[in-house]
Amino acid sequence: MDEIVEQLLQLSANTSTLMAVYDADDRLRYANRAFRSAYFIQPDESPLWPDLMRRNFELGRGTVIHASNFEEWLRSTQSRRGKIGYRAFETDLADGRWLWMTEAVQKSGWMLCVASDITSLRAEERSVRQDRDLAIKASQTDELTGVANRRFVMARIEDMLVAAGDGGLGCLAVFDIDNFKHINDRLGHHAGDLVLRDFAQRIHQHVRRTDCFGRVGGEEFVLAMPGTSVEDAVEIIERMLMMVRFSRPLTESPDFSYTCSAGVAACLTADSAPELYRRADQALYAAKLSGRDRVRAA
């Protein structure tokens, strides 16, 4: 077996195909020479994917990112990256190359990325495919906050239930911004939108790559947490709520702050998505009744 692994590593090292492996925290654990050359990674480096993308964006190299605000692009991309077992898409590099990239994700969260150079394909066909990929992204993203939308995150809840049905763990958290109607009525809908964007940004900074966070409507968001116990989920969410508690998102009202409540439910055998959601929503209601700005478990 060791000999086979060694042969595979030698083959991948010498191929022009880009190959890389990321762990569940999205840290690069292996990359062949072609991948490191394309993304300007030193032989002794093992960067986190967001840090790598941020660095290359600032230096105008690596992946071409058509966005004026990098952090918004990053949040939107991370909302979908590594959330399904396999996906394929096209991407272009600043050096003019065009890549066909695939991502294969294990249950552990480790991900294999393989990219092939398809620059020779006709430019007009490339434009059509790029438009297709952008349309797919738009169909999976909440326009206001940039995180996953209801359709995408509900599909990930179904995936989590399938995995939990095979003997795994999983939790669903439902978030609701406290007194959001009062914020809209007192400060206006523009302020309400700023609060929603701030909330999505604050929470998403602490979402693990194996989890999926999205907005399902109004001021309500959900977080699917595969392979997670209720105790661990509550601990993670309590840290998230603390980050929200100290946020001051309105520059014109520097003293303004807001809070959020959350409910958590664990996946049960033969659970359905509506039933799991109902139990998490009941736990959220209990959090609201007990004073808001807290998390409760079903």
Distance CA(60)–CA(146), nearest Å, equals 23
State the residue for tokens 């929470």: 203
**Sequential DSSP letters for 179-214:** THHHHHHHH-HHHHHHHHHHHHHHHHTT--TTSEEE
Angle (CA) 140 65 36, round 5°? 110
SS3 189: helix
Residue 219 catalytic?
Answer: yes
Rounded to whole angstroms, the Cα distance separating 258 from 284 reads 17
- CA end-to-end distance (rounded Å), the chain: 46
Residue 251: how many other CB atoms lie within 10 Å: 8
CB 89: neighbour CB atoms within 10 A? 17
| Phi-psi sector, 117: left (phi>0), alpha (psi -120 to 50), beta | beta
Task: Tell me if 228 sits within 8 A of 180, measured CB to CB.
Answer: no
Q: Three-class SS of residue 296?
A: strand
Cα–Cα dist 30/35, whole Å: 10
Nearest alpha-carbon partner for 141 in 156, 133, 152: 152
Tokens 């958590």 — which residue?
Answer: 264
Q: Which residues are registered as beta bridge partners of 100? A: 90, 116
**Catalytic residue (one of 58, 219, 220, 238):** 219
**Catalytic residue set:** 219
